[in-house]
Structure 1
Amino acid sequence: VQLKLAINRLKLLQQKKNQFNQTARKEIALLLEKGKEDSARVRVEHIIREDFNIEAMEILELYSELLLARFALLETMKHCDQAISEAVNTIIYAAPRCEVKELNQVREQLIFKFGKEHAMAAMENQNDVVNSRIVHKLKVQTPDPILVNQYLKTIAKAFNIQWDGEMSGDDVFLQ
């Protein structure tokens, strides 16, 4: 039941974040049009982080669906099978970093099922047992200035705004 709820919640949250990002892109386009490039850069960093979160949620949704499809197998096993290992480890790792309480409940059930030792290995990503894309997408770090610039160019183009797309002095200095 929790897996189904988590899947539905992940889908809903993805839609909500996509809608928010569309609105934010319009606001950034207006900032670029008004020449407020520094403000646009700060706001686009938030969009990048949200896009990363959306991509992570898509992966978590797939893993949740995999566990749901293999639920009978999951119920009978005492140790985590290779067929579902990455899904289990990734959910244990990612759930606390997401805003989906149902996924956290699934995580707790997986920890109870496979034990705290297994959970610690997943939470610390020992031996790279967690999906590498999830690890990358959920890292808390400032987006690469080149990526910020690419987003700004894409937004300017989508809204037919003339923008030269040059990186600011701070961005050039950071490279």
Structure 2
Amino acid sequence: VELKLAIHRLKLLQAKTASLNTKARREIATLLETGKIESAYIRVENIIREDFNIEALEIVELYCELLNARLGMIEQSRTVDPGIEDAVASIAYASTRVDVKELVMIRELLAAKYGAEYIKNAMDNVDGTVSPKLVHKLGVKAPARFLVEMYLKEISNAYNVGWRP
């Protein structure tokens, strides 16, 4: 049940974030049009982070769907099957970095099943079993300058603003 709720919540969060990003893109186009370039640079970094967050939510959603599909296997085994190890670890990792309470409940259920230490290691990615793509998407590093400029160029093209870096 928690997996299905988490999948639903993740989809809602993706849609909400995407909608807010669309509005923010329009605002950035206005900033570019009015010559407020530095403000546009700063604001587009937030859009990039939110786009990364949407991609991370999609990854976590897929892992939740995988665990839901293999629920029978999970219930029958006391150890983590290699086929779901990255899903279990990635969900535990994301549960502390994504604001979806159902992921916390799933993490607690997984800890009861596989042990608190296993889940704690996954939350900190001690064993490197968390999806590297997910780790990158949920990272806190500022986006590269070329990526910021690429986003600004795309926004200026989409809203017919004559801006070039």
Write out per-residue CA displacement over residues 26-61 of structure 1, whole angstroms, 9 at most, x where no aligned residue.
000000000000111111011000000000000000
**C-alpha offsets along residues 1-27 of structure 1, whole Å, 9 cap, x if unaligned?**
000000000000000000000000000
Aligned to 2:69: 69
Instruction: Please give the alpha-carbon distance, in whole angstroms, between the structure 2 residues aligned to 1:40 and 1:141.
Output: 19
Structure 1 residue aligned with 2:118: 118
Which segments of 5 or more consecutive residues in structure 2 lack a partner in the other structure?
none
Alpha-carbon displacement from aligned partner over 1:69-124 (angstroms, at most 9, x marks no partner): 00011111101010111000000111110011111111111111111221122122
Alignment partner, residue 39 of structure 2: 39
**Match in the other structure for 1:132:** 132
Contact kept, 8 Å, 2:96 with 2:123, in 1: the verdict is no
Equivalent residue number for residue 152 of structure 2: 152
User: 1:4-23 alignment to 2 at 5 Å?
Assistant: 4-23=4-23
Unaligned runs of 5+ in 1: 166-175
Q: Which runs of 4+ in 1 moved over 2 A?
A: none
Contact kept, 8 Å, 2:21 with 2:50, in 1: the verdict is: yes
Distance in 2, matches of 1:8 and 1:96, equals 18
Q: Secondary structure at the match of 2:13?
A: helix
Distance 2:104 2:134 in 1: 16
**TM-score normalised over the length of structure 2:** 0.98
Distance 2:146 2:44 in 1: 12
Distance in 1 separating the partners of 2:40 and 2:28: 5
Q: Identify the residue that residue 90 of structure 1 maps to in structure 2.
A: 90
